[in-house]
Amino acid sequence: MHQLFKTREKLSYNVLYQDIGRRDYDETWNLQEVIFKKLVDCKLKKNLTDHQNETDCTGTLIFVEHPHVYTLGKSGSENNLLIDHIQLQAKEARFVKTDRGGDITYHGPGQIVGYPIFDLEKIGIGLKEYIFYLEEAIINTLLEFGITGSRLDGATGVWLDPDTKGKARKICAIGVKASRYVTMHGFAFNVNTDLNYFNYINPCGFTDKGVTSLERELGDKQDFENVKLLVRENLGRIFDLNWIN
């Protein structure tokens, strides 16, 4: 791992893993909000008096696939959506404004969307480190397929050939929200994603960079469940997570 940040003390963090399959974006956002509120409320309580409070204080990692949807971050521009609402309906897609960071991106079938709802203080890191470690987990996953993922200065996410003009392409987008060091929203990793849907936006606000997927880079569809397992394992190792039932 890069030594951009000072070595942190290993603080094992209890996390509940939820793979909820394919769910509507709004439904999953609401689920995140409930878990997020419980975790923030837990931090505000001086004394934990029962088992339920202990449970509320654990982290949660949600894995999900969404039906076709474009989401816009709070700092993004709606002009980066290149089709109107009638055309959206024709593509069986939706458009949602969110409270995460970042600009516009696409979610859809064949994409691993991960929503970590973590207390960063319990892990012992700040927000910049958190994003760095999310990127690192995807970079490590790509290495298991013989692909070198990298970072791009001035942009979050994981890229391939970021410094090569005309070849830079994003394989994983990241957009998060944090309050009281509790996170929500997260990352979207293109595995078997239909990349044609990115043609209707300026992905993450960029007009001169492309997108890609594991399928495109390797030439055939990938075992989606296996990729999810690898991403989960890498997140667990990098953040020192203790999975609970």
Sign of CA dihedral 57, 59, 65, 68: positive
Residue 107 to residue 174: CA distance in whole angstroms? 12
Look at the pTM and tell me if it is higher than 0.95.
no
Question: Mean pLDDT, to the nearest integer, of 5-18?
Answer: 77
User: For 186-236, how does the pLDDT look when each residue is reduced to its tens digit (9 = 90+)?
Assistant: 999 999 999 999 999 887 667 678 999 999 999 999 999 999 999 999 999
Catalytic pick among 42, 57, 172, 204: 204
* Domain range list for the chain: 13-244
Angle at 244 between CA 45 and CA 57, to 5 degrees: 10
CATH superfamily of this structure's domain 13-244 = Bira Bifunctional Protein; Domain 2 (3.30.930.10)
Residue 182 to residue 118: CA distance in whole angstroms? 5
Residue 96 to residue 117: CA distance in whole angstroms? 20
- Can 204 be counted among the known catalytic residues? yes
**For residue 242, which amino acid is it?**
N
User: For 33-68, how does the pLDDT look when each residue is reduced to its tens digit (9 = 90+)?
Assistant: 999 999 999 888 855 554 445 556 899 999 999 999
